[in-house]
Chains A and B, each alone.
Chain A
Amino acid sequence: MISRRQRRSRLFAAFLGNPTAVLGAAITAFVLLAATLGAALMPYGPNYTDFMDLLSSPSLAHPFGTDSLGRDVLTRVLYGARVSLVVSAAGVAIAAVVGTALGMTSAYKGGVADVVLMRLADLLFAFPSFVLALFLMVVLGFGTANVSLAIALTYFPIFARLARNMTLLVREEPFVQAARLMAEPTPQILLREILPNIAAPLIVQVTIGIAFGIVIESGLSFLGVGVQPPTPSLGVIMADGREYFQRAPWVLTLTGVAISCALLGLNLFGDGLRDLMDPRLRQRAQQ
């Protein structure tokens, strides 16, 4: 038997031995730091306009230049990254909690509810995700909070399906049967016995899901049906930069680089984590 602390330090060593995961974690940490501390340290506000300094190219005072209203683009990108990250993370959090709860319960209980729920997930899964999100925005109304809701509704079937499949694998394990024999109430079995054993793939899915959410958010806002200006989000700034991208290409280009940075970090981190969680791949790496 190995203790929990040993397991943890072993996992940490495996993490350090996986360059993808380390690089992804570093980029993600940098993006998070920039969106929180970096945004707070900027001398300008995200909506501070300077009409004497319109569409100026990148300089020391404005590293990303200024837009058509004389707003500092770097400041807006940092605040925008914050908005995009929060909107996406909120959506994915709702999706993860609701999807996991539904998937676990339906796998554990089985029966009609299971069938109905999984067919519903199949139905949602067949929609092109961006089209479904666009449709939901029309139904719910444009705006920041509804983007989160649209992300949650398009992404929860993935969590539901994953949680269901994992729960089916764990359900008949001896430790779950023991808990049942000891008359543990069902919610407690689900939360204390099953959830910790299926958490790893769910965490990987959260990381990848946040990247997915950022793509959906920026796409919707880029079209003008998501986050509404003047609130900066990465999609809003890109839509803005699109209006004058021949005269001031830096607005669109540098915002795009920022989006790619965030996505690259999250995707690499997710990939790396998945490799770490997959015992087959881990064994191969040790050989």
Chain B
Amino acid sequence: MTCVPGGIPISQLIGERLPITGFVGFYAVLIAVAISLAMGTIAALRRGRAADTIATSIAVLGISMPDFWLSYILVFALALGWHLFPAYGFVSPSDSPLGALYSGFLPALAIAAPMAAVFARMLRASLLETASREYVVVARSLGFSAPFVFRHYIFRNALIPYVTVIGLQIRYLLGGVVVIERIFGIQGLGSLMVDAAFARDYPTVLACTIVFLSIVLLVNLAVDLICVALDPRRST
């Protein structure tokens, strides 16, 4: 199939843009995981204290900020205010990997922040749940040190619901990518889809939708495999 304006094969268009969207999406997941691991763990360890309250409040605020609105705050502060990052434009990772990491930071952060909030809340709840299990109490009563119990008994088991939520949130991440790519002028799959929507280019819109759907399915397959690796009981 070819797209309506220009007659370029859609597969070629998607082939060009998929790596860019993949890069931004993966970057966003990495940032979200990094932030949420730190925030969720701190909130769970310091349960009920100031750090927990702050982390939980940030998480609630994060959920209440649509990513396109957050991206403008980031642009205001980090790009226009302190000139730390470019406000617009994106260097393709195939041209310069470092440039892509640098110019992609703000868009990736804007997509990542609301997700990080969801992940952190999930991790906190999951850590607290696991910490109250009997085998953890037993491990503690055997005299293992708190860091040892945390690492070997709590953390790994608490990761399973956390990883599952990451898989579920991929749906929202890809939705965010569509808007964020428009705002930052990233020539990825999302901006291809929006441009096609305005041009009433139905075949391209349909193709993009199917590619997005396939990404969700593949990521969920990967999540299932990771869960099996974390908990071998699930392999049967």
Residues from chain B with a CB closer than 8 A to the CB of A256 are: 65, 69, 72-73
Contact flags (1/0) for A117-149 with B, using CB distance below 8 Å? 000000000111111111101100000000000
Q: Are B216 and A129 neighbours in the complex by a CB distance under 8 Å?
A: no
Residues from chain A with a CB closer than 8 A to the CB of B193 are: 131, 134
Residues from chain B with a CB closer than 8 A to the CB of A133 are: 175
Q: Are B197 and A225 neighbours in the complex by a CB distance under 8 Å?
A: yes
- B38 interface hit (Cβ, 8 Å): no
- A249 interface hit (Cβ, 8 Å): yes
CB within 8 Å of A: which B62-80 residues: 63-66, 68-69, 72-73, 76, 80
CB distance from B69 to the nearest CB of A (A): 4
CB within 8 Å of B: which A216-267 residues: 218-219, 222-225, 238, 242, 245-246, 249, 252-253, 256, 259-260, 263-264, 267
- B120 interface hit (Cβ, 8 Å): no
Residue from A131, A218, A260 in contact with B174 in the complex, judged by beta carbons closer than 8 Å: A131
Q: Given that A126-B213, A128-B171 are contacting pairs, would A260 and B65 also be in contact in the complex, using a CB cutoff of 8 Å?
A: yes
Q: Are B202 and A138 neighbours in the complex by a CB distance under 8 Å?
A: yes
Residues from chain A with a CB closer than 8 A to the CB of B205 are: 134-135, 138
Q: Are A131 and B64 neighbours in the complex by a CB distance under 8 Å?
A: no
Q: Are B171 and A127 neighbours in the complex by a CB distance under 8 Å?
A: yes
Residue with the highest number of chain A CB atoms closer than 10 Å, among B63, B69, B174, B193:
B69
Contact flags (1/0) for B176-202 with A, using CB distance below 8 Å? 101100110000000001101110101
CB within 8 Å of A: which residues of B?
A: 60-61, 63-66, 68-69, 72-73, 76, 80, 170-176, 178-179, 182-183, 193-194, 196-198, 200, 202, 205-206, 208-209, 212-213, 216-217, 220
CB within 8 Å of B: which residues of A?
A: 126-135, 137-138, 211, 215, 218-219, 222-225, 238, 242, 245-246, 249, 252-253, 256, 259-260, 263-264, 267-268, 271
Q: What are the 8 A-B residue pairs with the smallest beta carbon separation, nearest first?
A: A130-B175, A128-B174, A263-B64, A256-B69, A264-B64, A128-B171, A135-B209, A131-B212
